[in-house]
Amino acid sequence: MNSEENAVSIKLAKLSPLPLHLEWHENRSFFLSFRKIRGALHLRLHRLFTKAPSPVLEALLAYSLKGDRHAGTIVRQMAHLYFSRKQIEPDALLTKGKVFDLHKVRDRVKAKYFPDLEVAIGWSTHARAGAFRCITFGSYDKHRNQVRINPLLDDAEVPAHFLEFIVYHEMLHAVCLPRIDARGRIHSHTREFRALEKKFSEFQAAKEWEKKSLTFFKSKKASYGRT
């Protein structure tokens, strides 16, 4: 049992009203099985739950002990988020724009912040022209493990540090698991995410430019892509 498994085992044992016998496994065909034997709860859990926040662990016990349907939904959502992350091949998106090469941008961000992370990247292909009220600069597709960047940012007047920040932000989604609250709602921008977001070396400068970006792009009457 590694340190993560041990920590979650201890937490579950404290939360459980019954003595707990826990076994971890890697079998993708089932992520949870349980039995109550002679006043004790016997759990077999997939190792995905070593990353589970406290509300999910509480839901595991509520589902196992009481058959709580709502708790079961929370558990299934956690499993879905885990197993669906890399099921689809990344789209064949262009990475070299007129100004910026996203492969190079991603590699710079990766070298500085995510040395062990592998993620595909490319310019979004969906674009439209006209007036706009807000801009989605990027997105992370967990199913394809792919970052998509709005081609609007492929502009010589866009600061390089701002594009790097957007890439950094989207890559964070690949390493920070969403939080599922007690009602089963999924929150992508968790406290952990926001804290790590501020680790970007030019965070303040990037956020300052973001504040005026809408006015900047409106003044250029640029087209942009919905990612």
134 has pLDDT over 60: yes
What pLDDT is stored for residue 221 in this prediction?
64
- pLDDT tens for 88-125 read 788 899 999 999 999 999 999 999 999 989 999 999 98
Residues 118-142 have a mean pLDDT of 79
What pLDDT is stored for residue 87 in this prediction?
66
Report strand pairing: 40-46 vs 32-37: antiparallel
User: Cα separations (Å) of 80 from 54, 74, 76, 131?
Assistant: 17, 10, 6, 37
Q: What's the angle, vertex CA 73, arms to CA 72 and CA 77, rounded to 5?
A: 120
Above pLDDT 70, what percent of the chain?
87
What pLDDT is stored for residue 17 in this prediction?
94
pTM passes above 0.85 = no
Above pLDDT 90, what percent of the chain?
56
**Can you give the three-state secondary structure of 113-159, one letter per residue?**
HCCCCCCEEEECCCCECCCCCCCCCEEEECCCCEEEECHHHCCCCCC
- pLDDT tens for 154-195 read 999 999 999 999 999 999 998 887 776 554 466 788 888 999
Closest listed residue to residue 166, CA positions, set 184, 177, 154, 178: 154
Cβ distance 166 to 136 under 8 Å? no
pLDDT tier, 143 (very low <50, low <70, confident <90, very high otherwise): confident
pLDDT tier, 132 (very low <50, low <70, confident <90, very high otherwise): low
Q: How much is the CA Rg of the chain, to the nearest whole Å? A: 21
* Calpha distance 14→195 (Å, rounded): 28
What pLDDT is stored for residue 226 in this prediction?
43
Residues 69-94 have a mean pLDDT of 80
* Calpha distance 47→44 (Å, rounded): 10
What's the whole-number average pLDDT of the chain?
86
Closest listed residue to residue 92, CA positions, set 127, 122, 126, 137: 122
56 has pLDDT over 80: yes
19 has pLDDT over 80: yes
What pLDDT is stored for residue 225 in this prediction?
46
* Calpha distance 199→185 (Å, rounded): 27
Q: At what angle do helices 160-175 and 102-113 cross, to 10 degrees?
A: 60
What pLDDT is stored for residue 175 in this prediction?
87
79 has pLDDT over 90: no
Residues 37-64 have a mean pLDDT of 92
| Lowest-pLDDT choice from 23-37, 47-61, 196-210 | 23-37
